Amino acid sequence: MNTSTSQEPGVETQALAEITIEQKETEGLSQGQIVRRRFFRHRAALISMFVLAFIVILAFTSVGVDLWGLRIPGWWIYSWNEIPTKVNNGVPTLSLWPLQFGEHPFGQDEVGRDIFAVVMRGAQQSIMVMVIAGVVATVIGVVIGAVAGYYGKWTDSVLMRFTDIIITIPLIVIGSVLGNTFGSLGAAVLGVVIGLFAWTTMSRLVRGEFLSLREREFVDAARVSGARDRRIIFRHILPNAVGVIVVNATLLMAGAILLESALSFLGFGVQNPDTSLGKIISENQAAFSTRPWIFWWPGIFIIAIALCVNFIGDGLRDAFDPRQKKMPSERAMARAGRAAGPVAPVDTTPSTDARMVDVGIETAYTGDVVNYHDPRPEEPGDVQHKPLDPER
Protein backbone atom coordinates (compact mmCIF):
# COMPACT_ATOMS: atom_id res chain seq x y z
CA MET A 1 0.00 0.00 0.00
CA ASN A 2 1.44 3.34 -1.07
CA THR A 3 0.50 6.45 0.88
CA SER A 4 1.70 10.05 0.71
CA THR A 5 2.03 12.04 3.91
CA SER A 6 2.97 15.64 4.63
CA GLN A 7 5.31 17.05 7.25
CA GLU A 8 6.27 20.47 8.36
CA PRO A 9 9.10 21.71 6.10
CA GLY A 10 11.61 22.51 8.86
CA VAL A 11 11.24 19.44 11.08
CA GLU A 12 13.25 17.02 8.96
CA THR A 13 16.03 19.51 8.31
CA GLN A 14 16.32 20.34 12.01
CA ALA A 15 16.42 16.67 13.01
CA LEU A 16 19.11 15.90 10.46
CA ALA A 17 21.14 18.88 11.63
CA GLU A 18 20.98 17.77 15.28
CA ILE A 19 22.05 14.23 14.37
CA THR A 20 24.90 15.55 12.25
CA ILE A 21 26.20 17.78 15.05
CA GLU A 22 26.04 14.99 17.64
CA GLN A 23 27.75 12.49 15.34
CA LYS A 24 30.56 14.89 14.48
CA GLU A 25 31.18 15.65 18.15
CA THR A 26 31.63 11.99 19.13
CA GLU A 27 33.01 10.52 15.91
CA GLY A 28 36.12 8.40 16.54
CA LEU A 29 36.24 9.15 20.28
CA SER A 30 36.31 6.71 23.17
CA GLN A 31 33.93 6.96 26.11
CA GLY A 32 36.62 8.57 28.26
CA GLN A 33 37.38 11.17 25.60
CA ILE A 34 33.69 12.00 25.22
CA VAL A 35 33.31 12.48 28.98
CA ARG A 36 36.45 14.62 29.14
CA ARG A 37 35.31 16.81 26.24
CA ARG A 38 31.87 17.36 27.77
CA PHE A 39 33.44 18.24 31.12
CA PHE A 40 35.83 20.78 29.60
CA ARG A 41 32.87 22.47 27.90
CA HIS A 42 31.28 23.14 31.30
CA ARG A 43 32.82 26.54 32.03
CA ALA A 44 31.77 26.75 35.67
CA ALA A 45 33.22 23.30 36.42
CA LEU A 46 36.45 24.07 34.56
CA ILE A 47 36.96 27.39 36.36
CA SER A 48 36.10 25.75 39.70
CA MET A 49 38.67 23.03 39.09
CA PHE A 50 41.44 25.60 38.60
CA VAL A 51 40.29 27.67 41.59
CA LEU A 52 40.20 24.61 43.85
CA ALA A 53 43.63 23.51 42.64
CA PHE A 54 44.97 27.01 43.38
CA ILE A 55 43.52 26.94 46.91
CA VAL A 56 44.99 23.49 47.61
CA ILE A 57 48.44 24.44 46.30
CA LEU A 58 48.39 27.74 48.18
CA ALA A 59 47.33 26.13 51.46
CA PHE A 60 49.85 23.28 51.43
CA THR A 61 52.86 25.22 50.14
CA SER A 62 52.55 28.51 52.00
CA VAL A 63 52.87 27.41 55.63
CA GLY A 64 54.19 23.92 54.95
CA VAL A 65 52.87 20.59 56.17
CA ASP A 66 52.93 19.31 59.73
CA LEU A 67 51.41 15.83 59.83
CA TRP A 68 52.09 13.26 62.58
CA GLY A 69 55.47 14.75 63.36
CA LEU A 70 56.49 15.17 59.72
CA ARG A 71 57.39 18.82 59.21
CA ILE A 72 57.88 20.30 55.72
CA PRO A 73 58.44 24.09 55.81
CA GLY A 74 56.66 26.44 53.43
CA TRP A 75 57.55 29.70 51.73
CA TRP A 76 55.56 32.00 54.06
CA ILE A 77 57.64 33.78 56.70
CA TYR A 78 55.23 33.14 59.60
CA SER A 79 53.78 29.98 61.12
CA TRP A 80 50.19 29.55 62.33
CA ASN A 81 51.33 29.16 65.97
CA GLU A 82 53.86 32.01 65.88
CA ILE A 83 53.09 35.35 67.56
CA PRO A 84 55.00 38.19 65.86
CA THR A 85 54.91 41.87 66.73
CA LYS A 86 51.76 43.71 65.73
CA VAL A 87 51.97 45.81 62.56
CA ASN A 88 49.48 48.53 61.62
CA ASN A 89 47.42 47.64 64.70
CA GLY A 90 46.60 44.27 63.15
CA VAL A 91 44.77 45.75 60.14
CA PRO A 92 45.33 43.82 56.86
CA THR A 93 48.19 45.21 54.79
CA LEU A 94 46.74 43.82 51.54
CA SER A 95 46.01 46.53 48.98
CA LEU A 96 44.50 45.96 45.54
CA TRP A 97 45.47 49.38 44.15
CA PRO A 98 48.34 49.76 44.11
CA LEU A 99 48.77 45.99 44.37
CA GLN A 100 50.80 45.08 47.45
CA PHE A 101 50.59 42.32 50.05
CA GLY A 102 52.64 43.69 52.87
CA GLU A 103 53.82 41.81 55.92
CA HIS A 104 50.36 40.64 57.07
CA PRO A 105 47.99 40.64 54.05
CA PHE A 106 45.07 39.12 56.01
CA GLY A 107 45.81 41.08 59.18
CA GLN A 108 46.49 39.87 62.73
CA ASP A 109 44.30 38.73 65.59
CA GLU A 110 44.25 40.21 69.11
CA VAL A 111 47.39 38.38 70.22
CA GLY A 112 49.28 39.11 67.01
CA ARG A 113 49.08 35.82 65.08
CA ASP A 114 49.26 36.21 61.32
CA ILE A 115 45.76 35.50 59.95
CA PHE A 116 47.09 34.39 56.56
CA ALA A 117 49.14 31.62 58.17
CA VAL A 118 46.25 30.61 60.45
CA VAL A 119 43.76 30.51 57.55
CA MET A 120 46.13 28.47 55.39
CA ARG A 121 46.55 25.93 58.20
CA GLY A 122 42.79 25.85 58.71
CA ALA A 123 42.26 25.30 54.96
CA GLN A 124 44.70 22.39 55.09
CA GLN A 125 42.79 20.68 57.87
CA SER A 126 39.38 21.31 56.33
CA ILE A 127 40.49 20.01 52.93
CA MET A 128 42.01 16.94 54.58
CA VAL A 129 38.75 16.21 56.41
CA MET A 130 36.79 16.75 53.18
CA VAL A 131 38.88 14.35 51.11
CA ILE A 132 39.20 11.60 53.72
CA ALA A 133 35.50 11.72 54.64
CA GLY A 134 34.52 11.66 50.96
CA VAL A 135 36.74 8.66 50.18
CA VAL A 136 35.64 6.65 53.23
CA ALA A 137 31.95 7.38 52.67
CA THR A 138 32.23 6.55 48.96
CA VAL A 139 33.93 3.19 49.57
CA ILE A 140 31.44 2.11 52.23
CA GLY A 141 28.43 3.35 50.27
CA VAL A 142 29.53 1.67 47.04
CA VAL A 143 30.20 -1.69 48.71
CA ILE A 144 26.92 -1.77 50.65
CA GLY A 145 24.86 -0.47 47.72
CA ALA A 146 26.47 -2.88 45.24
CA VAL A 147 25.94 -5.95 47.43
CA ALA A 148 22.35 -4.98 48.25
CA GLY A 149 21.44 -4.18 44.65
CA TYR A 150 23.08 -7.23 43.11
CA TYR A 151 21.93 -9.98 45.48
CA GLY A 152 18.56 -8.54 46.50
CA LYS A 153 16.14 -10.57 48.61
CA TRP A 154 17.09 -10.87 52.30
CA THR A 155 20.55 -9.35 51.73
CA ASP A 156 18.98 -6.22 50.31
CA SER A 157 16.43 -6.06 53.14
CA VAL A 158 19.02 -6.37 55.92
CA LEU A 159 21.44 -3.82 54.44
CA MET A 160 18.74 -1.28 53.61
CA ARG A 161 17.16 -1.54 57.07
CA PHE A 162 20.60 -0.93 58.57
CA THR A 163 20.93 2.08 56.27
CA ASP A 164 17.54 3.37 57.43
CA ILE A 165 18.70 3.19 61.04
CA ILE A 166 21.79 5.29 60.27
CA ILE A 167 19.68 7.81 58.34
CA THR A 168 17.30 8.35 61.25
CA ILE A 169 20.14 9.56 63.49
CA PRO A 170 21.04 13.20 62.67
CA LEU A 171 24.57 13.38 61.30
CA ILE A 172 25.33 16.55 63.26
CA VAL A 173 24.54 14.69 66.51
CA ILE A 174 26.77 11.74 65.64
CA GLY A 175 29.51 14.11 64.52
CA SER A 176 29.30 16.13 67.72
CA VAL A 177 29.61 13.09 69.97
CA LEU A 178 32.39 11.41 68.02
CA GLY A 179 34.13 14.66 67.12
CA ASN A 180 34.38 15.62 70.78
CA THR A 181 35.95 12.21 71.45
CA PHE A 182 38.28 11.87 68.46
CA GLY A 183 38.77 15.49 67.38
CA SER A 184 41.93 15.85 69.42
CA LEU A 185 43.53 13.04 67.38
CA GLY A 186 43.72 15.24 64.29
CA ALA A 187 41.86 16.09 61.11
CA ALA A 188 42.55 12.70 59.50
CA VAL A 189 40.80 10.80 62.29
CA LEU A 190 37.91 13.27 62.25
CA GLY A 191 37.55 12.72 58.50
CA VAL A 192 37.35 8.96 59.00
CA VAL A 193 34.71 9.38 61.72
CA ILE A 194 32.57 11.61 59.48
CA GLY A 195 32.96 9.21 56.56
CA LEU A 196 31.78 6.26 58.64
CA PHE A 197 28.31 7.84 58.91
CA ALA A 198 27.98 9.85 55.68
CA TRP A 199 27.65 6.95 53.21
CA THR A 200 23.87 6.39 53.35
CA THR A 201 22.92 8.49 50.30
CA MET A 202 25.66 6.91 48.21
CA SER A 203 24.55 3.39 49.12
CA ARG A 204 20.95 4.04 48.09
CA LEU A 205 21.94 5.53 44.75
CA VAL A 206 24.37 2.72 43.95
CA ARG A 207 21.74 0.14 44.94
CA GLY A 208 19.28 1.69 42.48
CA GLU A 209 21.85 1.58 39.68
CA PHE A 210 22.69 -2.07 40.40
CA LEU A 211 19.02 -3.06 40.46
CA SER A 212 18.75 -1.71 36.92
CA LEU A 213 22.09 -2.90 35.55
CA ARG A 214 21.93 -6.48 36.84
CA GLU A 215 19.08 -7.21 34.39
CA ARG A 216 21.08 -6.16 31.32
CA GLU A 217 22.24 -8.58 28.63
CA PHE A 218 25.96 -8.19 29.32
CA VAL A 219 25.42 -9.36 32.92
CA ASP A 220 23.54 -12.44 31.69
CA ALA A 221 26.38 -13.12 29.24
CA ALA A 222 28.93 -12.89 32.08
CA ARG A 223 26.91 -15.35 34.17
CA VAL A 224 26.64 -17.80 31.29
CA SER A 225 30.39 -17.60 30.70
CA GLY A 226 30.98 -18.69 34.30
CA ALA A 227 32.10 -15.40 35.87
CA ARG A 228 31.85 -15.21 39.63
CA ASP A 229 29.63 -12.72 41.41
CA ARG A 230 32.59 -10.66 42.62
CA ARG A 231 33.91 -10.29 39.08
CA ILE A 232 30.47 -9.39 37.72
CA ILE A 233 30.01 -6.72 40.40
CA PHE A 234 33.43 -5.06 40.20
CA ARG A 235 34.37 -5.66 36.55
CA HIS A 236 31.07 -5.50 34.68
CA ILE A 237 28.42 -3.58 36.62
CA LEU A 238 30.48 -1.14 38.68
CA PRO A 239 32.20 0.56 35.69
CA ASN A 240 28.77 1.30 34.22
CA ALA A 241 27.72 3.02 37.46
CA VAL A 242 30.87 5.14 37.76
CA GLY A 243 29.03 8.29 36.67
CA VAL A 244 26.62 8.20 39.60
CA ILE A 245 29.44 7.32 41.99
CA VAL A 246 31.80 10.13 40.93
CA VAL A 247 29.12 12.81 40.95
CA ASN A 248 27.82 11.89 44.40
CA ALA A 249 31.34 11.55 45.77
CA THR A 250 31.91 15.24 45.00
CA LEU A 251 28.65 16.12 46.73
CA LEU A 252 29.75 14.09 49.75
CA MET A 253 32.99 16.06 49.91
CA ALA A 254 31.16 19.38 49.75
CA GLY A 255 28.87 18.28 52.57
CA ALA A 256 31.81 16.99 54.60
CA ILE A 257 33.66 20.32 54.64
CA LEU A 258 30.48 22.14 55.68
CA LEU A 259 29.89 19.57 58.44
CA GLU A 260 33.47 19.89 59.65
CA SER A 261 33.16 23.67 59.74
CA ALA A 262 29.92 23.41 61.72
CA LEU A 263 31.42 20.93 64.20
CA SER A 264 34.54 23.06 64.68
CA PHE A 265 32.41 26.15 65.17
CA LEU A 266 30.45 24.32 67.88
CA GLY A 267 33.68 23.16 69.50
CA PHE A 268 33.35 19.46 68.59
CA GLY A 269 35.68 19.35 65.60
CA VAL A 270 39.44 19.90 65.38
CA GLN A 271 40.82 20.61 68.84
CA ASN A 272 43.77 22.68 70.10
CA PRO A 273 46.61 23.14 69.41
CA ASP A 274 45.52 22.63 65.79
CA THR A 275 42.93 24.69 63.93
CA SER A 276 40.46 24.63 61.05
CA LEU A 277 38.37 27.19 59.16
CA GLY A 278 35.33 26.68 61.38
CA LYS A 279 37.44 26.80 64.51
CA ILE A 280 38.98 30.15 63.47
CA ILE A 281 35.51 31.69 63.27
CA SER A 282 34.48 30.12 66.57
CA GLU A 283 37.54 31.36 68.46
CA ASN A 284 37.22 34.94 67.22
CA GLN A 285 33.44 35.43 67.23
CA ALA A 286 33.73 37.93 70.10
CA ALA A 287 35.89 40.18 67.88
CA PHE A 288 33.40 40.40 65.02
CA SER A 289 32.60 44.08 65.63
CA THR A 290 36.22 45.18 66.16
CA ARG A 291 38.23 42.94 63.79
CA PRO A 292 35.82 41.69 61.11
CA TRP A 293 38.63 40.64 58.74
CA ILE A 294 39.23 37.63 60.99
CA PHE A 295 35.83 36.32 59.78
CA TRP A 296 36.08 37.40 56.15
CA TRP A 297 38.94 35.16 55.09
CA PRO A 298 37.97 31.80 56.66
CA GLY A 299 34.38 32.38 55.53
CA ILE A 300 35.49 33.15 51.97
CA PHE A 301 37.60 30.00 51.85
CA ILE A 302 34.78 27.81 53.19
CA ILE A 303 32.35 29.16 50.59
CA ALA A 304 34.91 28.97 47.77
CA ILE A 305 35.86 25.34 48.48
CA ALA A 306 32.25 24.19 48.85
CA LEU A 307 31.11 26.00 45.67
CA CYS A 308 34.05 24.70 43.65
CA VAL A 309 33.36 21.11 44.64
CA ASN A 310 29.65 21.50 43.86
CA PHE A 311 30.34 23.03 40.44
CA ILE A 312 32.80 20.26 39.64
CA GLY A 313 30.15 17.71 40.59
CA ASP A 314 27.64 19.47 38.34
CA GLY A 315 30.10 19.34 35.45
CA LEU A 316 30.77 15.64 36.03
CA ARG A 317 27.05 14.94 36.04
CA ASP A 318 26.63 16.63 32.66
CA ALA A 319 29.69 14.81 31.31
CA PHE A 320 28.63 11.30 32.37
CA ASP A 321 24.92 11.70 31.56
CA PRO A 322 24.32 11.87 27.77
CA ARG A 323 20.83 13.22 28.39
CA GLN A 324 22.36 16.42 29.80
CA LYS A 325 23.64 17.51 26.39
CA LYS A 326 23.71 21.16 25.42
CA MET A 327 21.36 22.20 22.63
CA PRO A 328 23.28 23.54 19.61
CA SER A 329 22.85 27.15 18.59
CA GLU A 330 20.87 28.19 15.52
CA ARG A 331 24.08 29.03 13.67
CA ALA A 332 25.50 25.57 14.38
CA MET A 333 22.23 23.96 13.29
CA ALA A 334 22.25 25.88 10.03
CA ARG A 335 25.89 25.02 9.36
CA ALA A 336 25.25 21.34 10.05
CA GLY A 337 22.19 21.41 7.81
CA ARG A 338 24.20 22.81 4.92
CA ALA A 339 26.91 20.18 5.46
CA ALA A 340 24.34 17.39 5.42
CA GLY A 341 23.21 18.38 1.92
CA PRO A 342 19.89 19.54 0.50
CA VAL A 343 16.70 17.89 1.66
CA ALA A 344 14.02 17.09 -0.86
CA PRO A 345 11.23 19.64 -0.65
CA VAL A 346 7.96 18.45 0.75
CA ASP A 347 4.71 19.56 -0.85
CA THR A 348 2.64 21.05 1.93
CA THR A 349 -0.14 22.46 -0.31
CA PRO A 350 -3.47 21.22 1.00
CA SER A 351 -5.14 18.97 -1.53
CA THR A 352 -8.82 19.36 -2.38
CA ASP A 353 -9.00 15.96 -4.01
CA ALA A 354 -9.89 12.88 -2.09
CA ARG A 355 -7.00 10.68 -1.04
CA MET A 356 -6.25 7.60 -3.13
CA VAL A 357 -4.87 4.20 -2.25
CA ASP A 358 -3.86 1.26 -4.40
CA VAL A 359 -5.86 -1.87 -3.74
CA GLY A 360 -4.69 -4.75 -5.84
CA ILE A 361 -4.49 -3.43 -9.42
CA GLU A 362 -7.25 -0.83 -9.15
CA THR A 363 -7.24 2.67 -7.68
CA ALA A 364 -10.11 3.68 -5.46
CA TYR A 365 -11.13 6.92 -3.72
CA THR A 366 -11.09 6.94 0.04
CA GLY A 367 -12.81 10.26 0.57
CA ASP A 368 -16.38 8.94 0.68
CA VAL A 369 -16.68 5.86 2.85
CA VAL A 370 -20.39 5.28 2.37
CA ASN A 371 -20.43 5.43 -1.46
CA TYR A 372 -17.05 3.77 -1.80
CA HIS A 373 -16.82 1.16 -4.62
CA ASP A 374 -14.92 -1.83 -3.35
CA PRO A 375 -12.91 -3.35 -6.24
CA ARG A 376 -12.34 -6.59 -4.34
CA PRO A 377 -14.41 -9.64 -5.27
CA GLU A 378 -17.49 -10.35 -3.30
CA GLU A 379 -17.25 -12.54 -0.29
CA PRO A 380 -18.95 -15.95 -0.39
CA GLY A 381 -22.68 -15.48 -0.17
CA ASP A 382 -22.52 -11.81 -1.22
CA VAL A 383 -24.78 -11.36 -4.27
CA GLN A 384 -24.14 -7.67 -4.86
CA HIS A 385 -21.91 -4.82 -3.87
CA LYS A 386 -22.93 -3.34 -0.60
CA PRO A 387 -21.77 -0.12 1.06
CA LEU A 388 -18.29 -0.51 2.47
CA ASP A 389 -18.10 -1.99 5.88
CA PRO A 390 -15.18 -0.23 7.67
CA GLU A 391 -14.38 -3.48 9.46
CA ARG A 392 -14.03 -5.34 6.19
pLDDT at 348: 54
Distance CA 79, CA 377 (A): 103
What values do phi and psi take at 346, rounded to 5? -110, 130
Domains identified in the chain and CATH numbers: 39-324 (1.10.3720.10), 353-392 (no CATH)
Mean local confidence (pLDDT), 356-377: 50
Buried b (16+ CB within 10 A) or exposed e, 355-374: eeeeeeeeebeeeeeeebee
For the cut 60, the answer to whether the pLDDT of residue 70 exceeds it is yes
Q: What is the pLDDT of residues 159-212, one digit of tens each?
A: 999 999 988 888 888 878 887 777 777 788 888 988 988 899 999 999 999 988
Mean local confidence (pLDDT), 274-299: 83
Angle between helices 171-182 and 187-195 (to 10 degrees): 150
Question: Residue by residue, what is the 3-state secondary structure of the chain?
Answer: CCCCCCCCHHHHHHHHHHHHHHHHHHCCCCHHHHHHHHHHCCHHHHHHHHHHHHHHHHHHHHCCEEECCEEECCCCCCCCCCCCCCCHHHCCCCEECCEECCCCCCCECCCCCEHHHHHHHHHHHHHHHHHHHHHHHHHHHHHHHHHHHHHCHHHHHHHHHHHHHHHHCCHHHHHHHHHHHHHHHCHHHHHHHHHCCCCHHHHHHHHHHHHHHCCCHHHHHHHHCCCCHHHHHHHHHHHHHHHHHHHHHHHHHHHHHHHHHHHHHHCCCCCCCCCCHHHHHHHCHHHCCCCCHHHHHHHHHHHHHHHHHHHHHHHHHHHHCHHHCCCCCHHHHHHHHHHHCCCCCCCCCCCCCCCEEEECCEEEECCCCCCCCCCCCCCCCCCCCCCCCCCC
| Residues whose CB is less than 8 angstroms from the CB of residue 186 and which lie 6 or more positions away in sequence, other chains included | 68, 270, 274
| pTM reported for the whole predicted model | 0.72
For the cut 80, the answer to whether the pLDDT of residue 54 exceeds it is yes
For the cut 80, the answer to whether the pLDDT of residue 382 exceeds it is no
| Residues whose CB is less than 8 angstroms from the CB of residue 3 and which lie 6 or more positions away in sequence, other chains included | 357
Mean local confidence (pLDDT), 211-224: 87
Mean local confidence (pLDDT), 377-385: 51
